[in-house]
Amino acid sequence: MNAYVEARRELGLTAEVERRLLTWLAARVPRSIGPDHLTLLGFLSLAGGGAAYALASHDLRWLHGVNLGLVFNWLGDSLDGTLARFRRQPRPRYGFYVDHFVDALGAVALLTGLAASGLASGAVAAALLVAYLLVSVEIALAAHVTGVFRISRGPVGGTELRMLLLGANLAAMAWPRIRLAGFEVGFFDLVAGPAALGLIWLAIGSGLRTARRLDDEDRSRGPQRG
């Protein structure tokens, strides 16, 4: 088996601040807590956020619970790899695979809760989930074939998306339903619908650019012997 080379990471606007904070935190994590515990924390935080979304259908104050879940998800999802590297116990293949699989499960739990909240229709929540998974697939495939793990698109990465969702939850507490052109719609129908279309467009555009680049590179090498 060929030696595994971890893809170079490209992060978002807050990357440098995060790097310093996560390194500081990693030095203070008790030895009894390992990277897998933090990965589990990240998943359970999104699952709890999904439950809080569902409960928000009865009391919008549960949206604070969603935001708390997003904060703990950031902590677990961001700190697990940093902790492994800090302790010089990296498992790059395992970490890449498990992190992305767990993230997908967490997204399903969170957006299922959003669909049950009444703040967005089931169709819009499903579209947002499909868009998120499509972007995740494109990122993972591109990391495999290019050696670059582009977590961000421009200045917007995972942390920035969490911050935007956190702000949207606070806005939804003030305007859970909005009347538009004589119709009343959930707040997230107005926000998540365009966001889903934007993410799908982003994934398709990135996929086409990567495919074109790979085609040019493969053609420039000429016929390859097996």
Instruction: In whole angstroms, give the CA distance from residue 152 to residue 15.
Output: 10
CB of 80 closer than 8 Å to CB of 58:
no
Cα-Cα-Cα-Cα torsion 65, 38, 101, 72, nearest 10 degrees, comes to: 20
Instruction: In whole angstroms, give the CA distance from residue 214 to residue 225.
Output: 18
Q: How many CA atoms lie within 13 A of 197 on its CB side?
A: 5
Per-residue pLDDT of the chain (226 residues; tens, 9 = 90+): 455 555 555 556 677 888 889 999 999 999 999 999 999 999 999 999 999 999 999 999 999 999 999 999 999 998 998 999 999 988 888 988 999 899 999 999 999 999 999 888 889 999 999 999 998 899 888 888 888 777 766 667 788 889 999 999 999 998 888 877 777 778 888 888 888 998 899 889 989 999 998 998 888 876 665 4
**Ranges assigned E (strand) in 30-112:** none
- Residue carrying structure tokens 């994934």: 203
Tokens read off for 142:
């591109």
**Ranges assigned E (strand) in 86-198:** 148-150, 177-180, 183-186
185 phi, psi to nearest 5 deg = -130, 160
CATH for 8-177+184-221? 1.20.120.1760
Instruction: In whole angstroms, give the CA distance from residue 226 to residue 159.
Output: 43
In this prediction the pTM is 0.85
> Helix or strand or coil: residue 203?
helix
